[in-house]
Amino acid sequence: MDIGHKIKKLRIQNELTLEELASRSELTKGFLSQVERNLTSPSINTLNDILEALGTSLNQFFQEEKDEKSVFSKDDFFVDEREGYTLNWIVPNAQKNEMEPILLELKSQASSMTIDPHDGEEFGYVISGRVVLVDGESETVVKKGETFYIKGQNSHYLRNDAQADAKVLWITTPPLF
């Protein structure tokens, strides 16, 4: 079990900063940061204090989680049709994961939503058609069978200038869609 990751997950679920958790558990922000990154291990008493501050117990914390579904079919997809494009969430509840994949269907002469600057990274694979990746001031054509990989430092979006619709597998980390 990855104790540090699980503590961080609980802290984020409780919408607490490290500083707030430190205050509630009477520990230092630096120590909690090290625990979350698995650079140090808390004693049982200290772990109990952290978990109490997070509103849970040692018993609940160490209960085995149910196996999560790892294979999804079209019946599991969530489809969101918007003007000019359709978003297919191909992994349900992916926003709770480290990355979020979507299948973007981009109509001819249309643009996707604009993604604001963020600290993550993105990957795309053009399944059919071709798109223009607009990343800040840069524009790059990406054709069928080609990929793009960008940092999220600029506002960016995809544009379809072609006469045919395009399909793109688009993955972000952290989840943004």
pLDDT (tens digit per residue) in 117-176: 999 999 999 999 999 999 999 999 999 999 999 999 999 999 999 999 999 999 999 988
Per residue in 66-83, pLDDT (tens digit) is 567 789 898 889 999 999
Q: Which residues, in sequence order, are CB contacts of 10 under 8 Å at separation 6+?
A: 51, 54, 56, 61
- Please say if the pLDDT value at position 95 is more than 80: no
Q: What is the pLDDT of residue 66?
A: 59
Domains and CATH numbers, the chain: 3-62 (1.10.260.40), 74-173 (2.60.120.10)
Which residue(s) pair with 134 in the sheet?
139, 157
Is the pLDDT confidence value at 19 over 70?
yes
Using CA atoms, how far apart are residues 8 and 33, in angstroms rounded to an integer? Answer: 9
Of residues 100 and 67, more confidence is placed in 100
**pTM (2 decimals)?**
0.62
Starting at the earlier edge strand, list the strands of the sheet with 147-151: 78-82, 85-89, 100-106, 166-173, 121-128, 147-151
Cβ atoms of 11 and 21 within 8 Å: the answer is: yes
- Report CA torsion sign: 100, 103, 106, 107: negative
